[in-house]
């Protein structure tokens, strides 16, 4: 399968990355190169193989469902590009 | 007396204990070298105030007869991927410029609480994505090594290139690195140092800027195997804040260095010797085999049949996880924000377009694509299945052998100028020998084996069973002794 400009633009939106029109062709070419290369996995017989998300042999441990942290709004907001009155500020969402 | 900056971590530990010098003296010596070698661009941030404050505290403790452990007073560098409280942490990205974490990563906190002195934050590939340290938004790192037949500036490898260059050039006693597909081991090989990627789960990932969460592991970068054992002991251990952190016993890794490998079964995977393998790399590998054999180890040919599919698997799994992890950079809670009166989506898109570099964007796009509706099964699910086969290859091999020996990288270091021109896939091939162990989650270590004909370091890789760093350290110690690697970087020649 081959990516065209429209698909790259669509992926760009899904990833919330603005891609200038003049970069679309170059990116499509590069991404097609990488996807063409990873295509080699289709040669591997994986019938009956269970996919793994992690190779950690361990069962994830559980902790008590308790509040262990908090009451530090200044720290949470310390690196915010814009904040006021204990809140993050963002552009208007609801018209 | 040996120049202080030439000391190994073990020597510094012993010298500090004997009172031969103070932590402040050591720290000042390294800070002066960092200043003298700014041209390497190994550090994004220097923190002399933090360093001297910790050094003074260490000396004060020692004066009272107290110490917090083997690294108390030891000046080290921290890769700029570890969040450090109050000290800028960028992941070498513009999107995090100015970000000052309000907390300390578990690994750097363990080092801090063990009395180690933080000299600064080392440069890396942006978000640890790269094999040459040329994707950093803060400029490339220059290797302290230069080829004998050339004057080109060389890459230190990546992504932990700043840490590798700093350890190799004696700008610190040791440094932290992180390894997702080879980011500790390949730069260690390129710069003639030791780099250890522990078992997945051995070191907490909490507070490390995430790249690919099922692969990322922190580890030590040092000049000797003993130093790696000492530092790993200070970095590792269970952490309730990382759900994948392993509840396993923490051995005294230094005790593993017995110097005895008699009867050890060493696997040599035939798939790591493809047609066209660089003849110098092949020769070094043979030399490494001979060293272990001479020391009484048993050499066993093994097969890791899915080796040649590891890189393609990695370049689906890692970008997929990265695209998800990097979704957090939204211009709202920290880091860069770019807006010009548009709506929220436009702010996200402009912020991320301005904040991320080319390679990071490429991987986010690939990751987004392979996870998107209609392609998930063909790419991501397929890669997860092949990953299971690769992990199984290692599990089968470790029924027959105790440790596996391979080369670390397919070549010696290449010029910075050339690195910028190669296409992505050629660059990805640097990790062909390191990626399989990452996908399997097993521990692996690079040690310097010798020099190429051009006078540049080459590394050998030892791979072990899960949570058996002790065996790879033991084998590495024997190989280190046999290799007698004493070459110093070009930068240091004539300065004794």
Interface ipTM: 0.95
Please give the tally of structural domains in chain B. 1
Q: What's the confidence (pLDDT) of residue B424?
A: 82
* Pairing mode of beta strands B298-302, A87-88: unpaired
Q: What's the confidence (pLDDT) of residue B88?
A: 98
CB contact under 8 A, B424 and A63: no
Q: What's the confidence (pLDDT) of residue B496?
A: 38
CB contact under 8 A, A55 and B439: yes
**CA quadruple B464, B295, B454, B167: dihedral, nearest 10:** 50
**CA quadruple B199, B51, B81, B42: dihedral, nearest 10:** -100
Q: What's the confidence (pLDDT) of residue A91?
A: 86
Residues of B recognised as catalytic: 79, 159, 183
Please name the helix (run of DSSP H) or strand (run of DSSP E) that holds residue A94, with its range, or none. Answer: none
Residues of B whose CB is below 8 A from A53: 214, 384
Three-state secondary-structure class, residue A92: coil
All structural domains of chain A with their residue ranges: 5-43
Of all residues in chain A, the one with the smallest CA distance to B103 is: A75
Three-state secondary-structure class, residue A86: coil
Rg (CA), chain B: 21
CA–CA dist B111, B115 (Å, integer): 7
SS (H, E, C) chain B: CCCHHHCCHHHHHHHHHHCCCCHHHHHHHHHHHHHHCHHHCCEEEECHHHHHHHHHHHHHHHHCCCCCCCCCCCEEEEECCECECCECCCCCCHHHCCCCCCCCCHHHHHHHHCCCEEEEEECCCHHHCCCCCCCCCCCCCCCCCCCCCCCCCECCCCCCHHHHHHHHCCCCCEEEEEECCCCCHHHHHHHCCEEEECCCCCCCCCCECCCCCCCCEEEEEECCHHHHHHHHHHHCCCCCCCCCCCCCCCCCHHHHCCCCCCCCEEEEEHHHCCCCCCHHHHHHHHHHHHHHHHCCCEEEEECCCCHHHHHHHHHHHHHHHHHHHHHHCCCCCCCCCCCCCCCHHHHHHHHHHHHCCHHHHHHHHHHHHHHCCCCCHHHHHHHHHHHHHHHHHHHHHHHHCCEEEEECCCCCCCEHHHHCCCCHHHHHHHHCCCHHHHHHCCCEEEEEEEECCCCCEEEEEEEECCCCHHHHHHHHHHHHHHHCCCCCCHHHCCCC
- From A12's Cα to the closest Cα of chain B, the distance in A is 7
Question: What pTM does this model have?
Answer: 0.97
Q: What are phi and psi of B402, to 5 degrees?
A: -95, -25
Is residue B67 less than 8 Å (CB to CB) from chain A?
no
Q: What are phi and psi of A93, to 5 degrees?
A: -100, -40
Is residue A81 less than 8 Å (CB to CB) from chain B?
yes
**Residuewise pLDDT in 10s, chain B (496 residues):** 469 999 999 999 999 999 999 999 999 999 999 999 999 999 999 999 999 999 999 999 999 999 999 999 999 999 999 999 999 999 999 999 999 999 999 999 999 999 999 999 999 999 999 999 999 999 999 999 999 988 999 999 999 999 999 999 999 999 999 999 999 999 999 999 999 999 999 999 999 999 999 999 999 999 999 999 999 999 999 999 999 999 999 999 999 999 999 999 999 999 999 888 999 999 999 999 999 999 999 999 999 999 999 999 999 999 999 999 999 999 999 999 998 778 999 999 999 999 999 999 999 999 999 999 899 999 999 999 999 999 999 999 999 999 999 999 999 999 999 877 788 888 888 899 999 999 999 999 999 999 999 999 999 999 999 999 999 999 999 999 999 999 999 999 865 3
Q: What's the confidence (pLDDT) of residue B494?
A: 61
Is residue B60 less than 8 Å (CB to CB) from chain A?
no
- Side-chain-side CA neighbours of B494 within 13 Å: the count stands at 2
Q: What's the confidence (pLDDT) of residue B472?
A: 98
Is omega for the bond preceding B159 within 30 degrees of 0, making it cis?
yes
Query: Which token pair is B293?
Result: 């054999």
Is residue B432 less than 8 Å (CB to CB) from chain A?
no
CB atoms within 10 A of CB A92: 7
Q: What's the confidence (pLDDT) of residue B2?
A: 62
- CATH number, domain at B27? 3.90.1300.10
* Contacts of B123 by beta carbon, 8 Å cutoff, 6+ apart: B41, B42, B43, B44, B80, B92, B133, B136, B138, B139, B141, B161, B162
Please name the helix (run of DSSP H) or strand (run of DSSP E) that holds residue A11, with its range, or none. Answer: helix A5-14
Residues of B whose CB is below 8 A from A80: 332-334
Of all residues in chain A, the one with the smallest CA distance to B244 is: A60
Q: What are phi and psi of B158, to 5 degrees?
A: -160, 170
- Helix B225-235 to helix B469-483 angle, to the nearest 10 degrees? 160
In a domain, B114, yes or no: yes
In a domain, B208, yes or no: yes
Of all residues in chain B, the one with the smallest CA distance to A74 is: B102
* C-alpha distances in Å from residue B475, one per residue of B187, B258, B353, B409, B435: 21, 9, 47, 19, 21
Residues of chain A with pLDDT under 50: none
- From B169's Cα to the closest Cα of chain A, the distance in A is 34
Is residue B323 less than 8 Å (CB to CB) from chain A?
yes
Q: Which of 31-70 (A) contact B at CB < 8 A?
A: 31, 33-35, 37-38, 40-44, 46, 49-58, 60-61, 63
In a domain, B439, yes or no: no
Structural domain boundaries enclosing B68 = 4-261
Three-state secondary-structure class, residue A93: coil
Of all residues in chain B, the one with the smallest CA distance to A23 is: B358
């Amino acid at each position: 399968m081959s990516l065209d400009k429209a698909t790259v633009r669509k992926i760009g939106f899904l990833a919330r990355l603005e891609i200038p029109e003049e970069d679309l062709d170059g990116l499509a070419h590069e991404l097609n190169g990488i996807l063409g290369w990873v295509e080699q996995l289709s040669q591997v017989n994986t019938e009956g193989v269970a996919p793994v998300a992690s190779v950690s042999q361990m069962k994830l441990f559980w902790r008590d469902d308790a509040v262990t942290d908090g009451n530090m709004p200044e720290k949470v907001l310390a690196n915010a590009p814009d904040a006021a009155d204990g809140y993050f500020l963002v552009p208007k969402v609801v018209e | 007396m040996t120049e202080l900056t030439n000391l190994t971590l073990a020597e510094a530990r012993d010298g500090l204990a004997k009172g031969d010098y103070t932590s402040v003296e050591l720290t000042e010596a390294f800070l002066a070298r960092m200043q003298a070698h700014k041209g390497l661009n190994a550090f994004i941030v220097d923190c002399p105030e933090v360093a001297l404050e910790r050094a003074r505290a260490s000396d004060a403790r020692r004066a009272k007869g107290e110490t917090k452990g083997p690294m108390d007073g030891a000046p080290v560098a921290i890769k700029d991927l570890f969040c450090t409280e109050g000290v800028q942490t960028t992941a070498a990205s513009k999107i995090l410029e100015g970000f000052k974490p309000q907390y300390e990563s578990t690994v750097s906190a363990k080092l801090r609480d063990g009395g180690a002195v933080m000299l600064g934050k080392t440069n890396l590939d942006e978000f640890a994505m790269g094999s040459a340290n040329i994707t950093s938004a803060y400029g490339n790192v220059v290797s302290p090594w230069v080829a004998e037949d050339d004057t080109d500036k060389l890459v230190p490898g990546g992504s932990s290139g700043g840490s590798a260059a700093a350890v190799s050039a004696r700008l610190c006693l040791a440094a932290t690195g992180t390894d997702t597909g080879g980011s500790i081991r390949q730069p260690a090989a390129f710069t003639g140092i030791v780099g250890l990627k522990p078992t997945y789960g051995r070191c907490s990932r909490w507070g490390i800027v995430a790249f690919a969460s099922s692969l990322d592991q922190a580890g030590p970068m040092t000049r000797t195997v003993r130093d790696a054992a000492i530092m790993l002991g200070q970095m590792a251990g269970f952490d309730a804040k990382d759900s994948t952190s392993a509840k396993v016993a923490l051995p005294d890794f230094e005790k593993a260095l017995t110097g005895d490998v008699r009867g050890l079964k060493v696997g040599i995977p035939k798939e790591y010797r493809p047609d066209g393998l660089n003849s110098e790399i092949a020769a070094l590998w043979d030399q490494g085999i001979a060293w272990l054999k001479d020391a009484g180890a048993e050499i066993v040919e093994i097969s890791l049949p899915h080796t040649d599919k590891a890189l393609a698997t990695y370049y689906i799994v890692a970008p997929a996880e990265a695209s998800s992890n990097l979704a957090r950079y939204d211009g709202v809670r920290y880091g860069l924000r770019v807006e010009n009166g548009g709506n929220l989506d436009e702010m996200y898109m402009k912020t991320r377009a301005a904040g991320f570099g080319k390679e990071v964007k490429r991987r986010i796009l690939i990751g987004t694509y392979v996870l998107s509706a209609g392609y998930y099964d063909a790419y991501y699910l397929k890669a997860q299945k092949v990953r299971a086969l690769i992990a199984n290859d290692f599990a089968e091999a470790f029924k027959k052998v105790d440790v596996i020996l391979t080369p670390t990288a397919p070549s010696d270091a290449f010029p910075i100028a050339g690195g910028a021109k190669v296409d992505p896939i050629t660059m990805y091939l640097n990790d062909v020998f390191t990626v399989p162990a990452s996908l399997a989650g097993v521990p692996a270590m690079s040690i310097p084996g010798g020099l190429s004909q051009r006078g540049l370091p080459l590394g050998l890789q030892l791979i072990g069973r899960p949570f058996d760093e002790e065996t790879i350290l033991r084998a590495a110690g024997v190989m280190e002794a046999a290799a007698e690697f004493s070459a110093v970087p070009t930068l240091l020649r004539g300065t004794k």
